[in-house]
Amino acid sequence: MFTRLLQALFLIGAAAVLLVLTWPQAFGLHNSWIVAHLVSFRAIAVVGAVGGIVLCGLLRFIRPLRRTFGMAMVLLVLFAVANVGILTSRGFTAGTETAGSPSASVPADTEPGSGSITVLSWNTLGDAPGAAVIAQLAVAQNADVVTLPETTEETGVRIAEAMRDAGRPMWVHTLAFDLVSKARSTTLLISPDLGEYAVSNAAGSGPPGNTNVLPTVVAQPVDGNGPTIVAVHAVAPIQYEMSNWRSDLDWLATVCQTDDVILAGDFNSTLDHMAGRASGSAQSVLGNCADAALSVGAAAVGTWPTNIPALLGSPIDHVMATPNWQVNALQIVESLDDAGSDHRPVVVTLTPAT
């Protein structure tokens, strides 16, 4: 009798844990330590569940525990199916670039003059790929906006000079909280074709002017004509930064409350973590901004880390925009996984919504 009670308690506990990991936002745990990390890797959780199913199948030959392991298999199957369903609804095939050169030509309807804006976002892990590689990618993609978390002003200037020499001049805007770590710098490049921009937020850390630990650059058009462009870098949800991480996401949601905003960068957050922070249309996920990858069915493709396949990774790098923009094209560039950064570049072309 006592053994059966322990088995029942084990199954109830396992069911509760799997339910929380499937949809933590239902319990308000999606922004809590450990759960936030585990839910970031849904595809790996599915692989782990399949392994658990196989193991339980083998252990069912232990006669006294046959029923317990049988029920555990059922729970793991339900967990795997639910997570596959969530990943499928977000999309893990459409809109990705998986091989070859990242120099694909821009579609004809996104050439300069069409009102489109091509955004390249890449956390460079402290300038690791080098200015030449970053500039080559930006020129190949005809980028109008380049957001570069963990990129210093010096490297940003070199990138702009290389792009200028390739016929694609850019203005450079950098915020650095200090020069001790390159991670404490974020650089934003904007094409002069979009008009003159000026950084409008404070260089110091913390709301209401910035993210708490790593800098975010907010640039606004000087003449008021054009979108506010935000190069995002939220802190990672490590144990001692959980409060700052939640605060960063809350602040970014307030930045995207106006009618014409483009956010791009390293959010250190998946769509699960952003639950409850939308305030716009049904498509909004953060403030009034919708996620570009979700719009085109690629929001389950991992952008970090580069040492595991993209379909197993965590989609924490995003391009987002207010409803006046629609997504025309998106690439998650895997061909530069060996360039030095642990993040993949994300390239999105936005066109004015009709």
Q: Do residues 138 and 120 lie in contact, with contact meaning Cβ atoms separated by under 8 Å?
A: yes
Q: In the chain, what are the helix, strand and coil shares in percent, each to the nearest 5?
A: 40, 20, 40
**276 and 135 housed in the same domain:** yes
Within a domain: 26:
yes
84-108: pLDDT as tens digits: 999 999 998 745 443 333 333 333 3
Alpha-carbon gap, residue 153 to 246, rounded angstroms: 27
pLDDT at position 107 is: 39
Predicted TM-score (pTM) above 0.85: yes
* Burial classification of residue 104, based on how many CB atoms lie within 10 Å of its CB (0-12 exposed, 13-18 middle, 19 or more buried): middle
Within a domain: 69:
yes
pLDDT at position 110 is: 44
Phi-psi region of 92 (alpha: psi -120 to 50; beta: other; left: phi over 0): alpha
Q: Do residues 209 and 201 lie in contact, with contact meaning Cβ atoms separated by under 8 Å?
A: yes
**215 and 159 housed in the same domain:** yes
Alpha-carbon gap, residue 266 to 315, rounded angstroms: 10
How many alpha carbons lie under 13 Å from residue 281 in its C-beta half-sphere? Answer: 11
**116 and 67 housed in the same domain:** no
Domain that holds residue 26: 2-90
**In the predicted model, what is the mean pLDDT of the chain?**
92
Alpha-carbon gap, residue 294 to 304, rounded angstroms: 17
**235 and 158 housed in the same domain:** yes
* Burial classification of residue 29, based on how many CB atoms lie within 10 Å of its CB (0-12 exposed, 13-18 middle, 19 or more buried): middle
* Burial classification of residue 204, based on how many CB atoms lie within 10 Å of its CB (0-12 exposed, 13-18 middle, 19 or more buried): exposed
Task: Check pLDDT > 90 for residue 249.
Answer: yes
Q: Do residues 248 and 215 lie in contact, with contact meaning Cβ atoms separated by under 8 Å?
A: no
Q: Do residues 314 and 41 lie in contact, with contact meaning Cβ atoms separated by under 8 Å?
A: yes
Q: Do residues 293 and 285 lie in contact, with contact meaning Cβ atoms separated by under 8 Å?
A: no
Q: How far is CA 224 from CA 144, 200, 219, 228, in A?
A: 18, 12, 11, 9
Alpha-carbon gap, residue 267 to 269, rounded angstroms: 5
- Sign of dihedral through CA atoms 303, 304, 307, 309? negative
Within a domain: 168:
yes
300-329: pLDDT as tens digits: 999 999 999 999 999 999 999 999 999 999
Identify the band that residue 241 occupies on the pLDDT scale cut at 50, 70 and 90.
very high
**256 and 326 housed in the same domain:** yes
Average pLDDT over residues 110-115: 58
**221 and 341 housed in the same domain:** yes
**112 and 44 housed in the same domain:** no
Alpha-carbon gap, residue 106 to 301, rounded angstroms: 22
Q: Do residues 333 and 119 lie in contact, with contact meaning Cβ atoms separated by under 8 Å?
A: no
**73 and 150 housed in the same domain:** no
Within a domain: 140:
yes
The region of weakest confidence among 89-98, 105-114, 175-184 is 105-114
pLDDT at position 98 is: 38
**162 and 201 housed in the same domain:** yes
- Retrieve residue 121's tokens: 């976002």
276-292: pLDDT as tens digits: 999 978 899 999 999 99
Q: Which of 264, 274, 296 is nearest to 40 (CA)?
A: 274
